[in-house]
Structure 1
């Protein structure tokens, strides 16, 4: 028997700096819709819950979780507190594990600057990136605002969606001429971030009975799944086995 890890790709319920923006839902609907997701994911019976937050905020986040356990206050508008906290509580977990890393993501050229560079110096490649990846994904995410969170998360975790959200990075890597690899610094940071998330998730595995659930932005799913599968230390579970 091997431990199991389920990666649940999400769109963020709160503010985000992601490339693809999502029109937030009405606050009055969020709690009921989040409960649907919690009920579905709780069937996985997770023994540990990992979330997209940096380990530096571990103590602060779990203090918020303890307060949530005691008196069920109105959660902050993000998937960690609206889905993660009630899921952890329903699963009988004493804490939530922070596995993200961002380092100093201001050291390298930003994603916004990379796209501006491409627009100015490589307009054909910029057009391809926008029309093939960014604009279709933005249209898809606009459709998600018409769906419940549960239905939206099903779409995020479909194999074709996961593939498309990763392929855009492969096209970004081609920006630049000759020895100018303009996007490589940012992409190196992106791969490092996902490799560290993978490492932190693996560190949560302590016995063959572990069932670890990771809530993470959909753009991370491809790489983290790849790293986990290549490690051969666990079985990676398709989130849509439980969301469907």
Structure 2
């Protein structure tokens, strides 16, 4: 077999606090001079990986609009107001800036939305209150700990923390897999939720496979909650070589 494509998954938090997530992070304003300096430090470190493609957590159906925003950024160092992405988003703050420095002509969105059951927690609270209570306590403690860490550390330190293998394994087990048992033996609400979550990550991986050539070095910038599954897919796939982001942070 020839040379494998090298894939670096960089798990991140959402700089603009956008969207609904299992845990809501409350990061500092990313546009302050201090945080901008910290982001520049991260970008300089990531340049050492020398990616020839950068893939991001944006809907693949919005590729044209995303790259119009990227083209505007390359010319003006800013993002026009639009419905696809805002200037605080980590895609702009890291992916656009890094791609521009490396003279990339485009960004590669690979995300696909799925229909996660919206009432899984309501069902759990009503039908398995003990399990629900344990999960909520666990999630609240985790959220407080993560937000406290964010308030006291630099962007680079936060990214190192989010990409720590032990943290990734614990989060996946204690939050995501724990939900799997909701409705076991009857409705399987938890299984249905996790099935959709894995389906989304399989879609992401399929899109990543589709854009990859053997000689590629691809940086994938994604919400850290996806890290466990995407890292496993990359490690298990014989045509990809997993690159540890901690080697570049």
**2:214 paired with 1:194:** no
Q: Is the 8 A contact 1:9 1:218 kept in 2?
A: yes
CA distance in structure 2 between the partners assigned to 1:221 and 1:232 by the alignment: 19
- The partner residue of 2:146 within 133, 141, 145 is 141
Other-structure match for 1:24? 27
TM-score by length of 2: 0.89
Other-structure match for 1:97? 108
CA distance in structure 2 between the partners assigned to 1:57 and 1:16 by the alignment: 17
CA distance in structure 1 between the partners assigned to 2:52 and 2:141 by the alignment: 37
**2:44 paired with 1:44:** no
Gapped runs of 5+ residues in structure 1?
none
Q: Is the 8 A contact 2:49 2:248 kept in 1?
A: yes
Question: After superposition, where does 1:153-168 map in structure 2 within 5 Å?
Answer: 153-167=159-173, 168=175
Other-structure match for 1:185? 192
Other-structure match for 1:205? 212
Gapped runs of 5+ residues in structure 2?
80-85
Question: After superposition, where does 1:46-85 map in structure 2 within 5 Å?
Answer: 46-73=51-78, 76-85=87-96
Q: Is the 8 A contact 1:62 1:95 kept in 2?
A: yes
1:11-31 Cα distance to aligned partner (Å, 9 max, x none): 110123111111131231432
Other-structure match for 1:109? 117
Other-structure match for 1:10? 12
The offset of 1:96, in angstroms, is: 0.4
Q: Give the alignment's Cα RMSD to 1 decimal.
A: 1.5
CA distance in structure 2 between the partners assigned to 1:56 and 1:40 by the alignment: 30
| Structure 1 counterpart SS, 2:221 | strand
1:107-129 Cα distance to aligned partner (Å, 9 max, x none): x521xx21222222212211222
Q: Is the 8 A contact 1:21 1:141 kept in 2?
A: no
Provide runs of 4+ in structure 1 moved above 4 Å.
Answer: none
TM-score by length of 1: 0.91
